[in-house]
Amino acid sequence: MTKKLNEAYIIHGGVPLHGEIKVNTAKNSALVLILAALLTEEKVVLKDIPKLSDILIMCELLEHFGAEVHWYGHDLHIEAKDIHTCTGPYHLVSKMRASFVALGPLLGRCKEAGMAMPGGCAFGPRPVDRHIKAFKDIGAIIEESDGDFRLKLNGSLKGTARFVAPTVGGTQNILLASVLGEHDVTIENAAKEPEITDLVQMLKAMGAQIEGEGTDTLKITGVSRLRGLTYRPIPDRIEAGTFILAAAATRGKVSLHQVEISHLSSVIAKLSEAGVKFSKLGPASLLVDATGDLQNVSLYTSEYPGIPTDVQAPFTAFLATLEGDCTIEERVYPGHRFTHVAELHKMQADIELEESTLSIRGGTLQGAKVHSADIRAGGAMVIAGLAAQGTTVVTGLEFIDRGYEVLDERLRGLGADIHRQEIIEALTGTYGD
């Protein structure tokens, strides 16, 4: 059998997290704000952008379209004076589902766009049917062949895009397609996540005319041009939730800075019910104190302002450390997003999955070798490793790197015993220097 070297996190668990940490700007917002830069010939500067692999892939995609992209520290400068092609190449699109949202700005600026079926996390199907139907609703002509989509405009956009169920990506796509041109477009049953509001605020700062910010009905009046700007995305509520749950799972005490507390209301409410104490230290600072007695709680995921599906896996890891029984129901992606369960079983977690509901009987986790199959499962594995007795080896870091910037370094700043190193797999299953 051939030796295989792979990177992994080595975590020696049982150390409560203590200290202070800054939350990055939101990856899920930054990805779409980068695409919004395609709508103007002027320079767009996005401040404090984490250098995650997904962000770097999106930058490659913009360069493929013809934009000039430059990093200055963590500030991203984008200038899309000319669009050379309006088709996304499979080798980039297949890596990340957010790439499908490039259809919107390309259609808006070039009046045509092409894209393959997007890739991304493998927790289940990511149907784009709702996007395509919405584009048809507002007058786009759609051609599909072997999983490739081609959109064209014959005239201008008009009408109402109605979503049967709210979709963040679909709402973003229609927004980006509609802000340029002489037309009126309405989005009904629009998603209301903070990332949507962030996009609306940036587009309005660029000169777009959009009404209904923060509601489920958005009305767009097209304009002839958008201007460049300097803009800082909102804080990452999913990263903040992950750090909060890591502090809770290790029974630690951590201060989070550069956080939008209002975006975390559902997570804070549920953890308060479990006994975690929260104190507002300032307008963008939050103290998390999990050093007292904690109790198990049940929860379900839902669209904003409910508990985000992206913290379901980290919540599972935390609840697996608490004595007692509870349940988690996945309502956003029923039947999916459970790759972390089999890995937590390796750590002696008592979890049963029936359809879309996890039944958890909490206790003490034991260190083991586990794998991350998607971004948030990776966050869950790290949380479990931090809380477990003994040593945990977490592989699949390519997924973790898509959603968390230098996670090991930042956790070490909170006292965690975690480091990244190459391991030898297949032959020995052990880790080396």
Distance of CA 383 to the CA centre of its chain: 17
The pLDDT mean for the chain works out to 95
pLDDT exceeds 80 at position 425 = no
Q: What value does the mean pLDDT take over residues 195-212?
A: 99
pLDDT for res 415 = 99
> pLDDT tens digit string along 8-25?
999 999 999 999 999 999
Average pLDDT over residues 28-49: 99
**Which 3-state string (H, E, C) describes 241-278?**
HHHHHHHHHCCCEEEEECCCHHHHHHHHHHHHHHCCEE
Going from the C-alpha of 60 to that of each of 67, 78, 94, 104, the distances in angstroms are 9, 12, 13, 18
d(CA 135, CA 155): 14
The reported pLDDT for the residue numbered 127 is 62
Q: Give the whole-angstrom CA distance, residue 400 versus residue 377.
A: 8
Which of 302, 303, 283, 263 is closest to 25 using CA atoms? 263
> What is the pLDDT at residue 321?
99
- Catalytic annotation on 326? no
**Gap between the Cα atoms of 65 and 110, Å rounded:** 11
Percent of the chain with pLDDT over 90: 90
**What average pLDDT does this structure show over 187-215?**
99
Q: What SS3 state is found at 369?
A: strand
Instruction: Give the pLDDT band (50/70/90) at residue 146.
Output: confident
Q: Is the peptide bond before 305 cis (omega within 30 degrees of 0)?
A: yes
For 63-110, what is each residue's pLDDT tens digit? 999 999 999 999 999 999 999 999 999 999 988 889 999 999 999 999
List b or e across 102-112, with b for residues whose CB sees 16 or more CB atoms inside 10 angstroms.
bbbbbbbbbbb
The pLDDT, as a whole number, for residue 117 is 78
DSSP state of 366: B
- CATH for the 27-231 domain, from 3.65.10.10, 1.10.3720.10, 3.40.50.300, 2.30.30.30: 3.65.10.10
Q: Would you say 39 and 226 are in contact if contact means Cβ atoms under 8 Å apart?
A: yes
Q: Which token pair is 418? A: 């975690």
Q: Which CATH architecture has domain 4-24+235-425?
A: Alpha-beta prism (3.65)
Residue 420, pLDDT > 60, answer yes
Report whether pLDDT(301) > 60: yes
Residue 428: pLDDT over 70: no
pLDDT above 70 for 158 = yes
- Distance, C-alpha 281 to centroid of its chain: 26
Question: Which residue, 275, 282, 284, is CA-closest to 251?
Answer: 275
Instruction: Say yes or no: do domains 4-24+235-425 and 27-231 share a fold.
Output: yes
Please give the pLDDT value at position 1: 55
In sign, the C-alpha dihedral spanning 27, 29, 35, 40 is negative
Q: What is the pTM of this model?
A: 0.95
> What digits encode the pLDDT tens for the residues 348-392?
999 999 999 999 999 999 999 999 999 999 999 999 999 999 999
State the pLDDT at residue 290: 99
Question: How far is it, in rounded angstroms, from Cα 429 to Cα 119?
Answer: 30
Give me the catalytic one of 59, 86, 121, 326.
121
pLDDT tens readout for residues 167-178: 999 999 999 999
The domain segmentation of the chain, as residue ranges, is 4-24+235-425, 27-231
pLDDT score recorded for residue 123: 44
Residue with tokens 């999983």: 147
Q: Is 101 within 8 Å of 148 (Cβ atoms)? A: no
270 token code pair:
């549920």
Does pLDDT of 2 surpass 80? no
* Residue 154 to residue 172: CA distance in whole angstroms: 22
Answer yes or no: is pLDDT of 120 > 80. Answer: no
Q: Which of 111-120, 252-261, 281-290, 306-315 has the lowest mean pLDDT?
A: 111-120
- How do 43-46 and 229-231 pair as beta strands? parallel
Mean pLDDT on 242-253: 99
